[in-house]
A and B are shown apart, each in its own frame.
Chain A
Amino acid sequence: KAGVTQTPRYLIKTRGQQVTLSCSPISGHRSVSWYQQTPGQGLQFLFEYFSETQRNKGNFPGRFSGRQFSNSRSEMNVSTLELGDSALYLCASSLGASGGRNEQFFGPGTRLTVL
């Protein structure tokens, strides 16, 4: 069974631009969560989608948004990029919603660099 895939793996943008990252969960998984990882702040939760609905949201500004499609694939969008948005963006999928002991499987991440 294929794991979680994320595209693109690497991305370079300039301040003010916007970016869309894509995540394909493991087949059959309905929950997708997004995380931002930086050396200073570590891993921080962005949001979770389950059955096309945003179930939980972390403490990030409205420039960060996401969505989930009927096939469970998810995208996240960051508008008006800032230098501080440079990070590794990780997607994780699980069978059910994140409550409970549904194990989350992480993708390799998308490395976003904002210049």
Chain B
Amino acid sequence: GENVGLHLPTLSVQEGDNSIINCAYSNSASDYFIWYKQESGKGPQFIIDIRSNMDKRQGQRVTVLLNKTVKHLSLQIAATQPGDSAVYFCAEREYYGGSQGNLIFGKGTKLSVKP
């Protein structure tokens, strides 16, 4: 789709399998993290978020894990479906002593689900 970068990392999974999408964030001062899904021709859609005082949060079929020690975020999708095929972005919000900054997005990972 028109929103997909030419050189995005790609994860290809079989329908029904679990998917794990990883993201390394840059700033240890970031206190809030979000995963977005972007389908071709559409804007990003919120999936799940997590604050830095948590290390795990679950939603419907999705789980986000946060490892602050190594500044790593992951998104797990259970029982992946063809409709999950999209580009997934992680985003971090930096926190500067009482003032919250803007969202900084990762480059994205393209998830391709094989039926």
B5-A39 in contact (CB<8A): yes
Q: Say if the beta carbon of A13 comes within 8 Å of chain B.
A: no
B44-A106 in contact (CB<8A): yes
The listed residue (A42, A58, A98) touching B108 by CB distance below 8 A is: A42
A106-B45 in contact (CB<8A): yes
Interface class of chain B by DSSP: strand
Q: Which of A2-57 contact B (CB under 8 A)?
A: 4, 33, 35, 37, 39-40, 42-45, 48, 56
The listed residue (B2, B6, B102) touching A58 by CB distance below 8 A is: B102
B89-A107 in contact (CB<8A): no
Number of interface residues of A (CB under 8 A): 28
Q: Taking beta carbons and an 8 Å cutoff, which residues of B are in contact with A?
A: 2-7, 32, 36, 41-46, 49, 51, 89, 91, 93, 99-108
Q: Which 10 A-B pairs have the closest CB atoms?
A: A106-B43, A99-B100, A43-B105, A39-B5, A45-B102, A42-B107, A106-B44, A39-B6, A56-B102, A107-B43
